[in-house]
């Protein structure tokens, strides 16, 4: 038997049922056992799968399956139970046979029955092809046959392997899904489908039933179940599945819950494969979806993906359920032939694609759509569909968005989206099921209608599927009348008419329903009928259309549901409007305003204009014959002087009534005015900006503003008296960055005058249409009133007449706002007061003489700017340098400086001078007001550095200390200078801008030299500074007085003295040759130096360090004895006085043989040492010396007395 797919076979069976021609079934020799192959022709080395289906009696029990090949050289077969694999060996043909052995379980006999099926395999030589590529293509075709990669992945990740394992992912079947939407608040927690349809309030809680289809996947060839994502509302948090029923998709709807399973957590369904037989879509499931959203806002979550050769893009969005379209955004600028679109894993060609935006629109309700996939590929969708569905390529889909209207109804007032009610009459005739006179949902293309689309999901051409006994018809008395069978009179359904409907010839019309209670049987055949209530719910309503859902709880025990769209029959009414002035006080006596000529449009819900109304002088207008309904009134043209009202006012036209609107919404017109009013900007004439010069201020200027309630072109045309007059004063306004000086129509700026004009709900004044003049009547501080310049926004001055600025407040076109013509922001420029000063520069020397001094630079800055921001940041107003002017040196003249108080600072000081102090001056008069010029004399003094040299111990000044002055900046010696008798060196006119140091090069006699470098700086202004090069200790020697003079106080320590010894005898004879030695110690062992008296008896120890010594005569002159004891000699500072001590006695001035003198700066200790002739002298100061001295005195006295006596005798 030739291989045929289950899917295609089901289509052929359905076609036979529809056409009442089943002859082709016999022609195909269909038996109880059916054998199918994935491929009829194999290449050598290729394998294919075989499957057997045994349609045996329910009492049959399969014993085994036997697989054979009649030519194993061509093909061999290996099988297990109902599946097998054929492998092609060589070119040729082989017949594969399967025998199913079974027995009857309820029969007492043990007879074994057999049923056989066979298929012929044709093997050809393998074509030259890459084996790896072929295998990859084969595996991909067999295992990944799906159009929804995201849902497929979801199934893989959430699969319950108790039902099937995961070996492949192939699209094999279709499941019909019916989502019955009910209101969650009204049902029980354990509500079932059966209990729901038995409730008395079913019609109140029922929203609608929306069918769809989802893909079923074969995940394992040996599994008993298909798998699919059955709950198309799984992602909706507002929906909850309360119950579900699985049933065969026929008129009896046999329940098969025991062979189907629903996983509430994952939304997956597991459907027994054997339920489908040879029929596609042979199983349906009904979900009772409890929805917590209102009907008006009902929406559902839709997953979507787009795929191309590189990537899969995922997303989700909420879609309104009764918009009946789902949008997916993919790539732009594609051709529709490059796209394959699938819904719930099944392909559809019923979509639109906008290449500019990349948006694909699928016309289906979101409650029927769980996922949408868009596959972007250059392969044509027809070829893809052929791959997926074995050449069944006639793909169709419809939605509510494609509904034609089923006539026109006169909808009662108050009926809108979500409304529910009942129709009291209907009739259902099984015999009339194919004789509907009302176009089913407006589609007139035969059996390819919206009911098929809704019922089967619209994925295939379901003319080929089995549907005949799954629908019922509901006869509605659309126009009312008397039933010809019963004679009962019936009311009409909202006054239906056949408008826009073709072929509606009877007073009653048929509306097709779908079965919506799967566990109840259908009506069967016959002419039975019943009168019962039909529940009606409005699912959607626009301005001119209404979508209605119908539900009958029982028609011969079956419940039916359907949806239809109707045009809404318009009702007529009239409209009167009255426009009013929103601010009559503002327009009183002003002919620039009128209520006549305003135009209004009445627009419907789509924005279309249904009427235009034009007001008369009193603001009235009217129109009649308007369809009843809701409209919007919009002003499209305002009357003269009034602003266009942008408000859209809702208007309800009631049938047979006149609606009157008076002064509400857009019928309140505001007179045009300039709420920005005016803002007079005060500016400086020189800069043109709101930046006052110097200390002058733009604040405090006064302006007189006059308003006239008519339009005038010239000042000369103005009436003598203005309508209103105000005097305004400028104030400073700052945002922290920019400051401007303005005067405007506000009470805080008003000095005097009339009340301002105001509009409602605006505290700020305004100006009506008319004429305005502005004139400055008082200049601000520091500015001149004469010569002020007024200009408009654009800088024009042509509207100025003798200092009076004139402008108009005019409306900006019809309905526009009023504006001051080029004058909301007039600028008034004043000239600031200015004058100059003269500066004379002189130099003062140390003798007090002055001379003119050129090249001194002075910088001028505002005092308050310097105070607030510092000198460096303050603005410079002028810089002048003294020079010879008119034959006189040391002169400078500034430019004219604006009003203010200034500081003049000498910023460049001539070399050798100290910068003079700053001085202040004030400019408060203009050149035009006074010719007197302020004159300032500035004196510079010479730079002065003083060095003071003193003894560190006595503090006495030291003379003749010599210092080197060196300029480090120029690397040059300045000079060498010695201290005077006061220990002072005075240096004048050292050049500024240099660094110096002073270093002692010669110390005073006897003093230790201090060669430390003492650093100091003189800046460019002549100011002396202590250099940081000095150590902290050395910095202490510097002082700077208030005049800026620096004194460097430097000290020296006395290091040496001279010891002068005079040797003589008792006869005052100076003795030469006496040797004296200085020792450090009393034992006279530590020798310091020695010397011998000269012919004059003198011995000078020239340079002896300050300290204590012992002088010993180590050799006496010839004929004399040496002094036996050493003489203690000391030189030290006592109480700040350098002191000479002999044998611990302080020698003051000259005491006998000892004295201290200062000779040429040296301290000298003088000693006279006497030797007695021929005698050995005891040690000086010893007792022997005293005795000998006394004896000597006595002898001298005796000799003297003898001499006197001898003279007397003579």
CATH 2.60.40.3680, applies to 674-832: no
* pLDDT (tens digit per residue) in 880-929: 999 898 899 989 999 988 988 999 988 888 887 877 888 999 988 887 77
How many Å is the Cα radius of gyration of the chain? 64
pLDDT higher than 70, residue 1046: yes
Strand-pairing partners, residue 844, are 850, 941
pLDDT higher than 90, residue 637: yes
CATH number of this structure's domain 834-941, picked from the four choices 2.40.160.20, 2.60.40.10, 3.90.1170.50, 3.40.50.620: 2.60.40.10
Task: Kindly state the tokens that stand for 278.
Answer: 């040879």
What pLDDT does residue 778 have?
85
pLDDT higher than 80, residue 314: no
Distance between CA atoms of residues 782 and 784, nearest Å: 7
| Top-tier CATH class for 943-1051 | mainly beta
Burial of 212 per CB tally in 10 Å (0-12, 13-18, 19+): buried
CATH number of this structure's domain 571-669, picked from the four choices 2.60.40.10, 2.40.30.10, 1.20.1250.20, 2.40.10.120: 2.60.40.10
pLDDT higher than 70, residue 313: no
CATH 2.60.40.1080, applies to 31-128: yes
What pLDDT does residue 174 have?
84
Distance between CA atoms of residues 798 and 714, nearest Å: 11
The answer to whether the beta carbons of residues 205 and 289 sit under 8 Å apart is no
* pLDDT (tens digit per residue) in 1185-1207: 555 566 667 666 766 776 666 65
Sign of the alpha-carbon torsion through 334, 338, 343, 344: negative
Distance between CA atoms of residues 1025 and 1034, nearest Å: 14
pLDDT higher than 80, residue 645: yes
Mean pLDDT of 386-413: 46
Query: What CATH number labels 1056-1177?
Result: 2.60.40.10
Task: Kindly state the tokens that stand for 668.
Answer: 């309140």
Strand-pairing partners, residue 838, are 893, 935
25 contact partners, CB below 8 Å, separation of at least 6: 12, 13, 16
* pLDDT (tens digit per residue) in 582-614: 888 888 888 888 999 999 999 998 899 999 999
Burial of 727 per CB tally in 10 Å (0-12, 13-18, 19+): middle
Task: Kindly state the tokens that stand for 777.
Answer: 């009547």
Strand-pairing partners, residue 1098, are 1062
Distance between CA atoms of residues 1081 and 651, nearest Å: 134
Helices (H) and strands (E) in the chain, counts: 12, 88
Domain locations along the chain: 31-128, 139-395, 413-440+461-568, 571-669, 674-832, 834-941, 943-1051, 1056-1177, 1183-1210
Task: Give the DSSP H or E segment for 212.
Answer: strand 206-218
Mean pLDDT of 170-198: 88
* pLDDT (tens digit per residue) in 450-491: 333 333 333 333 232 233 333 444 555 555 556 555 555 655
Mean pLDDT of 225-238: 87
What pLDDT does residue 485 have?
53
What pLDDT does residue 9 have?
38
The answer to whether the beta carbons of residues 138 and 90 sit under 8 Å apart is no
Fold identical between 31-128 and 943-1051? yes
The answer to whether the beta carbons of residues 272 and 53 sit under 8 Å apart is no
| 648 vs 443, residue with greater confidence | 648
Burial 920-934 (b: 16+ CB within 10 A, else e): ebbbeebeeeeeeee
Burial of 761 per CB tally in 10 Å (0-12, 13-18, 19+): exposed
DSSP state of 1071: -
> How confident is residue 365, by pLDDT bands cut at 50, 70 and 90?
low
Percent of the chain with pLDDT over 70: 71
Mean pLDDT of 1101-1120: 86
Please give the mean pLDDT across all residues of the chain: 76
User: Greatest CA span in the chain, whole angstroms?
Assistant: 216
Mean pLDDT of 237-260: 86
Burial of 808 per CB tally in 10 Å (0-12, 13-18, 19+): buried
Mean pLDDT of 531-549: 73
In DSSP notation, 1153-1180 reads TEEEEEETTEEEEEEEEEE-BTS-PPPT
Measured in degrees and rounded to the nearest 5, phi and psi for residue 665 equal 55, -125
Task: Kindly state the tokens that stand for 1008.
Answer: 């230790």
> Residues, the chain, total?
1210
- How many C-beta atoms surround the C-beta of residue 954 within 10 A? 14
Three-class DSSP labels, 746-814: CCCCEEEECCCEEECCEEEEEEECEEEEEEEEECCCCEEEEEEEEECCCCCCCCEECCEEEEEEEECCC
CA nearest 799: which of 822, 782, 777? 822
> How confident is residue 27, by pLDDT bands cut at 50, 70 and 90?
very low
Mean pLDDT of 1002-1010: 81
| 461 vs 427, residue with greater confidence | 427
Percent of the chain with pLDDT over 90: 19
């Amino acid at each position: 038997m030739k291989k045929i797919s289950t899917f295609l076979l089901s289509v052929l069976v359905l076609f036979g049922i529809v056409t009442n021609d089943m002859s082709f079934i016999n022609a195909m020799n269909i038996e109880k056992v059916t054998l199918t192959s994935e491929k009829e022709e194999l290449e050598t080395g290729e394998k294919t799968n075989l499957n057997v289906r045994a349609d045996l009696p329910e009492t049959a029990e399969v014993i085994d399956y036997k697989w054979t090949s009649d030519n194993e050289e061509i093909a061999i077969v290996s099988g297990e139970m109902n599946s097998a694999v054929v492998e092609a060996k060589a070119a040729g043909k082989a017949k594969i046979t399967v025998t199913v052995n079974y027995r009857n379980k309820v029969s007492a006999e043990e007879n074994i029955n057999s049923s056989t099926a066979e298929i012929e395999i044709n093997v050809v030589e393998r074509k030259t092809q890459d084996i790896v590529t072929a295998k990859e293509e084969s595996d991909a075709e067999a295992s990944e046959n799906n159009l929804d990669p995201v849902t497929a992945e979801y199934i893989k990740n959430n699969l319950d392997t108790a039902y099937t394992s995961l070996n492949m992912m192939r699209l094999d079947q279709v499941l019909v899904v019916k989502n019955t939407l009910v209101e969650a608040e009204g049902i029980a927690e354990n509500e079932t489908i059966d209990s729901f349809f038995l409730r008395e309030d079913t019609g109140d809680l029922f929203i609608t039933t929306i069918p769809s289809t989802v893909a079923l996947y074969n995940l394992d060839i040996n599994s008993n179940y298909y798998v699919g994502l059955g709950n198309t509302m799984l992602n909706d948090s507002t929906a909850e599945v309360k119950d579900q029923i699985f049933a065969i998709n026929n008129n009896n709807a046999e329940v098969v819950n025991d062979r189907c399973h629903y996983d509430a957590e994952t939304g997956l369904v597991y459907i027994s494969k054997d339920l489908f037989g040879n029929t596609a879509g042979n199983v349906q499931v009904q979900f009772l979806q409890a929805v917590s959203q209102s009907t008006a806002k009902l929406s559902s979550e839709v997953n979507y993906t787009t795929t191309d050769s590189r990537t899969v893009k995922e997303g989700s969005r909420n879609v309104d359920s009764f918009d009946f379209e789902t949008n997916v955004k993919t790539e732009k600028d594609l051709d529709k032939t490059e796209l394959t679109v699938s819904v719930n894993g099944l392909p559809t060609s019923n979509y639109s694609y906008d290449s500019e935006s990349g948006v694909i629109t699928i016309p289906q309700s979101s409650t029927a759509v769980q996922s949408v996939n868009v596959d972007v590929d250059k392969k044509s969708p027809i070829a893809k569909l052929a791959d997926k569905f074995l050449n069944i390529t006639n793909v169709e889909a419809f939605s509510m968005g494609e509904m034609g209207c089923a006539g026109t109804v006169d909808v009662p007032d108050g009926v809108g989206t979500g409304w529910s009610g009942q129709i009291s009459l209907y009739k259902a005739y099984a015999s009339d099921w194919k004789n509907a006179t009302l176009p089913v949902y407006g589609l007139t293309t035969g059996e390819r209608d919206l009911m098929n689309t809704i019922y089967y999901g619209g994925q295939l051409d379901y003319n080929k599927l089995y549907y005949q006994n799954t629908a019922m018809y509901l006869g509605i008395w659309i126009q009312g009348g008397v039933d010809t069978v019963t004679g009962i009179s019936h009311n009409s359904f909202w006054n239906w008419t056949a408008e826009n409907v073709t072929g509606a010839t009877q007073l009653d019309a048929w509306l097709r329903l779908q079965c919506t209670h799967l566990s109840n049987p259908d009506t069967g055949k016959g002419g039975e009928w019943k009168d019962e209530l039909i529940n009606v719910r409005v699912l959607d309503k626009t301005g001119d259309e209404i979508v209605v859902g119908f539900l009958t709880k029982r028609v011969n025990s079956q419940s039916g549901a359907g949806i239809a769209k109707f045009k809404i029959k318009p009702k007529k009414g009239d409209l009167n409007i009255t426009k009013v002035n929103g601010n009559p006080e503002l327009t009183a006596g002003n002919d620039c305003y009128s209520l006549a000529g305003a135009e209004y449009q009445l627009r419907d819900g789509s924005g279309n204009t249904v009427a235009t109304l034009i007001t008369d002088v009193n603001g009235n207008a009217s129109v009649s014959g308007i369809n009843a309904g809701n409209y919007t009134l919009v002003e499209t043209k305002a009357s003269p002087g009034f602003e266009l009202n942008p408000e859209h006012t809702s208007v309800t036209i009631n049938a047979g009534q006149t609606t009157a609107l008076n002064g509400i919404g857009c019928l309140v017109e505001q007179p045009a005015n300039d709420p920005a009013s005016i803002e007079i900007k005060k500016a400086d004439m020189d800069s043109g900006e709101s930046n006052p010069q110097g200390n002058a201020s733009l604040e405090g200027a006064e302006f007189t503003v006059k308003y006239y309630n008519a339009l005038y072109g010239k000042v000369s045309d103005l009436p003598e008296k203005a309508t209103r007059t105000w005097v305004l004063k400028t104030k400073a306004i700052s945002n922290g960055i920019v400051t401007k000086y303005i005067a405007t129509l506000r009470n805080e700026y008003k000095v005097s005058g009339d009340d301002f004009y105001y509009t409602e709900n605006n505290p700020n004044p305004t100006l009506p249409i008319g004429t305005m003049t502005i004139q400055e009547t008082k200049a601000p501080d520091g500015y001149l009133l004469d010569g002020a310049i007024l200009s408009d926004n654009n800088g024009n001055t042509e509207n100025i007449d003798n200092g009076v600025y004139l402008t108009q407040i005019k409306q900006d076109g019809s309905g526009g706002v009023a504006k001051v013509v080029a004058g909301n922001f007039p600028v008034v420029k004043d000239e600031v007061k200015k004058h100059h000063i003269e500066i004379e520069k002189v130099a003062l020397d140390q003798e007090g003489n002055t001379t003119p001094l050129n090249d001194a630079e002075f910088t001028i800055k505002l005092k308050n700017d310097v105070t607030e921001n510092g000198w460096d940041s303050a603005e410079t107003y002028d810089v002048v340098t003294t020079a010879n002017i008119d034959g006189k040196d040391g002169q400078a003249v500034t430019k004219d400086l604006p009003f203010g108080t200034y500081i003049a600072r000498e910023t460049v000081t001539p070399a050798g001078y100290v910068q003079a102090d700053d001085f202040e001056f004030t400019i408060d008069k203009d050149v035009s007001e006074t010719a007197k010029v302020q004159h300032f004399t500035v004196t510079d003094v010479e730079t002065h550095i003083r060095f003071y040299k003193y003894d560190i111990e006595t503090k006495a000044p030291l003379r003749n200390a010599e210092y080197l002055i060196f300029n480090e900046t120029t690397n040059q010696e300045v000079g060498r200078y010695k201290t005077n008798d006061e220990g002072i060196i005075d240096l004048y006119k050292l050049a500024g801008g240099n660094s110096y140091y002073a270093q002692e090069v010669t110390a005073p006699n006897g003093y230790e030299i201090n060669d430390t470098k003492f650093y100091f700086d003189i800046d460019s202004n002549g100011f002396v500074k202590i250099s940081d090069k000095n150590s902290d200790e050395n910095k202490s020697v510097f002082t700077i007085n208030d005049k800026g003079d620096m004194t460097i106080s430097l000290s020296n320590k006395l290091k040496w003295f001279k010891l002068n010894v005079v040797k003589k005898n008792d006869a005052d004879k100076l003795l030469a040759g006496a040797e004296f030695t200085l020792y450090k110690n009393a034992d006279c062992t530590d020798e310091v130096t020695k010397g011998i008296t000269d012919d004059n008896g003198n011995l000078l120890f020239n340079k002896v360090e300050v300290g204590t010594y012992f002088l010993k005569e180590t050799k006496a002159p010839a004929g004399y004895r040496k002094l036996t004891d050493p003489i203690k000699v000391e030189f030290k500072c006592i109480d700040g006085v350098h002191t000479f001590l002999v044998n611990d006695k302080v020698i003051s001035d000259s005491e006998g043989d000892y004295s201290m003198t200062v000779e040429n700066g040296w301290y000298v200790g003088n000693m006279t040492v006497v030797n007695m002739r021929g005698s050995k002298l005891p040690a000086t100061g010893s007792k022997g010396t005293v005795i000998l001295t006394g004896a000597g005195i006595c002898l001298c006295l005796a000799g003297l007395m003898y001499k006197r006596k001898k003279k007397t005798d003579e």
